[in-house]
Chains A and B, each alone.
Chain A
Amino acid sequence: MAEKEHWSKQHEKGKLWMRKFTLACIRILPGIVVRILAIPIGFFFWLISGPERKAIIKYLKKVRPDRKPYTLPLFLAFSITIIEKVESWAGKIRLGKIHFQDDDINTIWKELEQGKGALLVCSHLGNMEMLRAIADFGDIGVSRRVPVISIVDFKVTAGFNKMIEDANSSSMHNIISAYDIGPDTMLMLQEHVAKGGIVVIAGDRNTEGKLDRNFDIDFLGSSAHFPQGPFIIASLLECPTYFVFAVRQKPLSVSAEYNMHIHKTRVKFSGSRAEKKQQIRQMAEEFVSYLEKYCNKYPLQWYNFYEYWEKGEL
């Protein structure tokens, strides 16, 4: 088998006109029609995505070893999620569809209400766009508008971001590419959080090339690479840090009912540099344990379409 490309080098499937077409459909057509259209589109991508299917089979064998690893439902669920991402950016998702849990949601609202900022570590399980609901809607959450900066893996999502821009140019949302991080970035993030803003970063995409900047952490039964970056950022920002998962109640359904799970980290940074390094790793392990828990609970909403575990692992 040919050498696997790093995920960031995998080409985004679909051309620009297709994205524009998708956006136009989402804007014009009723939600139910768009979701029905998502089925043949998802099927088409499933057909042409050989390497992604293989990677997903490996994931499904780990998360549900007792069942046949049928990949099609996951691709269809992804197709619907893409639509809902765009809808959320275009302001078309109603907050009533997001069900908060009895976890740390009240803590973060209280802290945001007090004017504090926060770091949210999210993942590619479910739909991370939904967590904007924490910040964006004054009526049930926070009485102030909370500015959000997302650190994204821009090289993969450039086309998608362009579409987002077209959909909603007035959003309080700033996007920084992980490939464009410099020494000034951290100072800017620090200032943003000090002013009560939120920083969002995914904790489940490993860093390209620099393997020494990954942690090997046991995930669904065997070791996988997780990035150090998000947790180092947490240690440098020294602000309240939460793990957030926004997942559909049912992966395949016409109605978009979401569950939002949010947990405040138990790790506190203090002490020497060596101790902090240890605490950074602890925080990554804590994140992975939640990720694993929700993968088990919502197995069909895992959208990391590349070889997640070490080569040769099954």
Chain B
Amino acid sequence: MDMDELKLEIKKIIISSLELEDVKPENIVDSEPLFGAGLGLDSIDALELGIALKKRFGISFSAESSDNRKHFASVDALAAYISAQKNGEAK
């Protein structure tokens, strides 16, 4: 899966898991923040999105790391983190 497909997939998961019926994948800007400003998701969205992305991509986080949050900052950050984890497993 190349990066553009991955980003589209992430956007579809954001939309379906949070039931953002009036949002289309092309409305989500890759580099814009998902939470607060930008797409404006709240903390409950965050809880649901975390689980949905884990189910789809099997991503994991080290409990100790304080970097976890930044991987969820935007579609760009998520795509980079997911593809890095996948490549890590393939090696």
Contact = CB atoms under 8 A, between A and B. Distances in A.
Interface of A: 178-179, 181-188, 190-192, 210, 213, 228-229, 232-233, 236, 273
28 contacts: A181-B43, A181-B47, A182-B35, A182-B43, A182-B46, A182-B50, A183-B53, A184-B61, A184-B69, A185-B46, A185-B47, A186-B47, A186-B48, A186-B50, A186-B51, A187-B50, A187-B51, A187-B60, A187-B68, A188-B61, A191-B63, A228-B44, A229-B44, A232-B47, A232-B48, A233-B47, A236-B47, A273-B19
B44 A187 contact: no
**3 A-B pairs with least C-beta separation:** A184-B68, A183-B50, A181-B43
Contacts, number: 61
Given A188-B61, A273-B19, A183 B42 contact: no
B77 to A, nearest CB: 11
Interface of B: 19, 35, 42-44, 46-51, 53-54, 60-61, 63, 68-69, 71-72
A185 B50 contact: yes
A273 B48 CA distance: 12
Contacts of A184: 50, 61, 68-69, 71-72
A249 to B, nearest CB: 37
Contacts of A188: 61, 63, 68
A213 B53 CA distance: 22
A225 B54 CA distance: 31
Nearest to A233: B47
